Chain A
Amino acid sequence: MTTFDFLIQGLGMAMDPMILLYALIGVTLGTAVGVLPGIGPALTVALLLPVTYGLDPAGSLIMFAGIYYGGMYGGSTTSILLNTPGESASIVTALEGNKMARAGRGGPALATAAIGSFVAGLIATLALAFLAPHIVKLALIFGPREYFALMMLAFVTVSAAFGDSAMKGLTSLFVGLFLALVGIDQLTGQARLSFGVPELLDGVEVTTLAVALFAIGEALFVASHGTMAADKIEAVKGSVWMTRADWARSWKPWLRGTAIGFPIGAMPAGGAEIGTLLSYAAEKRLAKNPEEFGHGAIEGVAGPEAANNASAAGTLVPLLTLGLPTSATAAILLAGFQQFGLQPGPLLFVTSPQLVWGLIASLLIANVMLLVLNLPLIRLWVKLLTIPKPWLYAGILLFATLGTIGMNPSPVELAMLLTFGIMGFAMRVHGYPIAPVVVGLILGPMAEQQLRRALSIAQGDWTTLVSTPIAAGILLAAALALVVPMILRLRGRGEVLSRLAADED
C-alpha cells in the first residue's frame, strides 16, 4: 500500500463517530487551555493520562494530539488581545497582534492567526504523512555545530528586525543574554548568578519574563498616564473579518511560516520559538511596507502563527518515527503511547499502522474542527476589548499573575514577575524595545550550549564549527545577513533601512 492508501484508510477510521467525539473533546480542551494562563497542553495531557487508562488507546491518543494542536490555536488569543502570551510559542504573535487589536483590528488579527494555523496545520500534517522519513533524516544531520550556526542566523536576522537604533536594540538584547546566564549551567552543573536562591537555579522562565515585560509593564505604563492616555483602544474598527487586502497580505506569510516552522519543529533541539522568531524576521524583511511593522502589520501575525502550528506537527515527526520526544507535550504524548503498550519509534509505522494513520488522519480532521470552533469565537473575543480600560488592565494583571503562579507556584516566581514588570515599565518610558530581551533569553542559552557541546565533542577545535557544509553554509548566510545591510547603508541607502527598522513598541 502506498502512503496515500494508508491515509485514506486512516480517514475511514477517523470518521468513526466515537473517534470524532474524542477529537472534538481534545480540540475544545486544547483551545481552552491555550487561552487560560498557566495551564499548557503538557499539563493538561498529564492530568488526563490516568483518566484515560481504561479508554480506547486510539481515541485517547487522538484526543491528546487534539489538545496539542488546540493549545497552539488558543495561545494566540491572549497574546493578541491582552498582550499576555500564555506560551513561549506565541510571544512573537503579541508583537504585531496586540498592536492590531488596539487599532480596532483584533478581529482580522485573530482570523489570520486562526486561518494561518489551519493552513499550516493542514500542510504540515500532510508533510508529516508523506515526508516524515526524509525530514527525520535531515533532523539527525543537525548536531551541535549545525544548531549553533542556526542560532547565529537567528540572532543576526532577528536583531536586524529590532530597529536601527542599534544602541537601544542591542542593549535590550544583552539584558536578555544576561538574564539567560542565571541558573544551573547545563554542561557542568554549576550554578551561575543564583545567589543561593533555589528558585533561580532553573533560570528565568521565558513566559514569566514575556508576560512581565509585555503585560505588567504595559499595565503600569497605562496606569502612570492615568486618564490622560492618548491611545484609546478601539475595539472594532471596520470589519471583524479579514478584508481582501488582509487575505492578500496573509497567504504568503502563512506558507512561509509553515515552511520555516515545520522543519525546525522536527529538529530535536529546534522548538517552536525559533521558528516563530525566524518567520517574524523573514516577514519583516520581505514585506512591501516594512514601516508598518511595530504598528500592527498583519504579516507579523500570520507568519509566526503559521510557524508555531507547523512546528507542532513537526514535533510529531521525530516522536512517531524515532520515539524522540522533543517538547514537554511530546514527552507526555510518548508516556501516553507507552501507557497503552505502544512504543513510538522506528517500528511503530510497521507494528501499528492503523493507529498511526488514524492519528494522522484525525489531526487533519481536528484541524478543520479547530477552524470551525475558533472563527465564530472571534466575535466574542473582540468584545473583551470593549471592557473599560481600568477594568481591562486590572483583569490583565490578575490574568498574568494567576498564569505565573499556575505554572510555578512559588513566591519567588511572583517577585520575578513584578521585578521584570517594573523593568518593562522603565524600558517603555525610556524607549527601549522589549522583544530583544525575550529573544536573548530564548536564544542565548541554546547558542551557548550548542557551541560548548560542539567544542567539547571536537576537543576545543574551533574549525569544527565550519567543518560540515550545512554548518558552514548557515554561518555564511548569517554573515551575509550581517554584512549586506551595512554595505547598503554605506552606499547611502540608510534612510530606507531606518524606516525599515521601525521600533516594535
Chain B
Amino acid sequence: MKTPFFGKHTLFGAALAAVLAIPAHAGDYMIMAPAAPGGGWDSTARSMQEVMQAEGIAGSVQVQNVPGAGGTVGLAQFASTAGGDPSQLIVGGYVMVGAILTNESPVSLADVTPIARLTGEAVAIAVSAASPYQTINELVDAMKADPGAVSWAGGSAGGVDHITVGLLAKAAGIDPTKINYVAFSGGGEALAAILGNQVTVGISGVGEFLPQVEAGTMRILAVSTAEKWAGTDAPTLMESGYDVNVQNWRMVAAAPGLSAEQKAAVTADVDKLVNSAGWKSLLETKGWANTYLSGADFDKQLALEVEATTAVLKDIGLVK
C-alpha cells in the first residue's frame, strides 16, 4: 500500500513544484491584440513580443487576436477571463477609449489594470497635390463658409481622426455636428479617395501620408500634436491658430485583480522593454514616437483623456 501512496505523493509534489515554478519563471506573457492581424494594435503587440523575447525580458510571448468593435470585444473577453493572471496583457489606445463610449461598452478600461502608454503618433490633415487648398487656414475658412462642402476622409466614426476634425471645428467656431466626415474602413481606401480627389481633404496617422508626400502626390496641411512631427515641416494646428492638441497613443494593460507586487512586476518588465535598444530601433522603423508614461502619471493622464474624449464625442453628436 505504500507504493501507490508514495506515487500519489510524488505526483502531488510534482504538481506543487510546477505551480511554484510558474512564478519562478515569471515572464511568460500572453498579449491580446483586440484587433485583426495587420492593424496598429496587432503590430504593437507583435513588436512587444519580438523585443521581449529577443531581449530576454520574457521566456515565451504569445499574441492572440480577438477582433471587433474598436477593441471592446477583446477588452470584454480579457476582463472576464484574465482576472488575477499577471502573465496576460492587452494592447489598447485612444481608439478604444472612443469605442467604449460610442458602443456603450459595459466593460471599460477601469475593468483592467492600465500599465503604461507606449507610443504615440500625430494625426495629419492632408490634401492631394491637385487640391486648391495650400494652408490649413484656407481649408478652415472654406468650412466656415459651408461646413458640408468640405468632405473629410478618415478612419472609423468616433475614432481619433473623427475626434480631431470635431475638435478643429469647435476651435474654429464651426458647429461640430455640421462637419461632413466620411468614414472609411481601411487606411488604404481612405487614401485612395484622397488621391483620387473624391473628397476634399483626408485625415489619418501621419505615417500613412509621409510616403505620398515624399512622392509629391500629397501635401500635409497640419499636424495635430503640440510640436512639429519628425518627417514633415507642416505646421501644428496650434501654430495655425486653432487650440487643438491630439495624439493617437497606444497603451498596454494587465489583467484586473492584480496585487500591488504583481502590478509592479509587470510594470518593471514593460519598463525594461521600453528602455531596451531593440524597442528603440523598432520604434524608429515603425515611425512611432516614444511616449512612455507609467504609474500614477499615466493613470492621471488616462482619466484626462477619457474625460476630454467624452466631451468631444458629445459635441460631435456621437455620444448622448
Binding site for B on A (CB under 8 A): 42-43, 45-46, 49-50, 53, 139-144, 184-191, 196, 198-199, 201-202, 268-269, 318, 322-326, 328-332, 335, 338-339, 341, 343-347, 408-410, 453, 456-457, 459
Contacts and interface: CB of A to CB of B under 8 A. Distances in A.
Nearest to B69: A201
Interface string B70-101: 10110011000000000000000000000000
A191 B157 CA distance: 11
Nearest to A139: B192
Given A198-B76, A335-B38, A459-B180, A323 B189 contact: no
B187 A325 contact: yes
Interface residues of B, number: 61
A456 B193 CA distance: 13
B151 interface: yes
Interface in B10-52: 36-39, 42-43, 46, 49-50
A343 B286 CA distance: 10
Which residue of B38, B106, B216 has the most chain A CB atoms within 10 A of its CB atom? Answer: B38
Nearest 6 CB-CB pairs, A to B?
A: A189-B157, A346-B215, A143-B198, A201-B69, A331-B38, A46-B37
A410 B196 contact: no
B73 A457 contact: no
Interface stretch (B60-68, B131-139, B241-249, B254-262): B60-68
B183 interface: yes
Contacts of B212: 322-323, 345-346
Interface of B: 36-39, 42-43, 46, 49-50, 53-54, 64-70, 72-73, 76-77, 102-107, 148-149, 151, 156-158, 162, 180, 182-189, 191-193, 195-196, 198-199, 210-212, 214-217, 285-286, 318
Contacts of A190: 102, 318
Contacts of B214: 343, 345, 347
Contacts of A326: 186, 188-189
Contacts of A410: 66, 73, 77
B193 A143 contact: yes
Given A49-B46, A331-B38, A456-B151, A188 B157 contact: yes
A318 B188 contact: yes
Contact of A188 (B42, B70, B149, B318): B318
A325 B318 contact: no
A231 to B, nearest CB: 38
Given A186-B157, A322-B212, A323-B211, 12 more contacts: A184-B69, A187-B183, A189-B156, A190-B318, A198-B103, A268-B189, A322-B191, A324-B187, A325-B38, A331-B188, A343-B211, A408-B68
B192 A186 contact: no
A269 B211 contact: no
A346 B217 contact: yes
Nearest to B199: A457
Nearest to B208: A323
Contact of B192 (A268, A408, A409): A268
Contacts of A453: 182, 184
B62 to A, nearest CB: 10
20 contacts: A42-B38, A140-B195, A143-B198, A184-B70, A187-B182, A196-B106, A198-B69, A198-B73, A201-B72, A202-B73, A268-B188, A322-B212, A323-B191, A324-B187, A325-B187, A331-B37, A332-B37, A347-B211, A453-B182, A457-B199
B148 A459 contact: yes
Contacts of B36: 42, 328
A139 B37 CA distance: 25
A187 B183 CA distance: 5
Nearest to B188: A324
Contacts of B151: 456-457
Nearest to B147: A459
Contacts of A324: 187-189, 191-192
Contacts of A268: 186, 188-189, 191-193
A144 B211 contact: no
A318 B211 CA distance: 13
A43 B37 contact: yes
A403 B20 CA distance: 35
B49 A50 contact: yes
Contacts of A346: 211-212, 215-217
B262 to A, nearest CB: 25
Contact of B193 (A144, A184, A189, A323): A144
B200 to A, nearest CB: 8
A475 B3 CA distance: 84
A143 B188 contact: no
B142 to A, nearest CB: 14
A191 B196 contact: no
Contact of A198 (B64, B105, B182, B185): B105
A457 B216 CA distance: 25
Given A186-B156, A325-B38, A142 B186 contact: no
A351 to B, nearest CB: 10
Contact of B67 (A144, A189, A408, A459): A408
Given A189-B156, A323-B211, A456 B66 contact: no
A268 B186 CA distance: 9
A463 B111 CA distance: 49
B152 to A, nearest CB: 10
A191 B318 CA distance: 11
Given A144-B198, A198-B68, A459-B180, A322 B46 contact: no
A269 B73 contact: no
B186 A331 contact: yes
A20 to B, nearest CB: 27
A324 B37 CA distance: 16
Contact of B215 (A143, A144, A347): A347
Nearest to B38: A331
A328 B192 contact: no
B37 A269 contact: no
Contacts of A408: 66-68
Contacts of B67: 202, 408
Contact of A42 (B37, B156, B199): B37
Nearest to A199: B73
A476 B102 CA distance: 40
A331 B67 CA distance: 15
Contact of A184 (B38, B43, B103, B189): B103
Contacts of A143: 193, 196, 198
A456 B77 CA distance: 36
B174 to A, nearest CB: 16
A332 B38 contact: yes
B129 to A, nearest CB: 11
B198 A457 contact: yes
A408 B74 CA distance: 10
Contacts of A140: 192, 195-196
Contacts of A45: 37
Contacts of B69: 184, 198, 201-202
A409 B64 CA distance: 10
Contact of A142 (B182, B196, B216): B196
Nearest to A454: B198
Contacts of A322: 191-192, 195, 212
B278 to A, nearest CB: 10
A189 B102 contact: yes
A102 to B, nearest CB: 34
Contact of A186 (B68, B185, B193, B210): B185
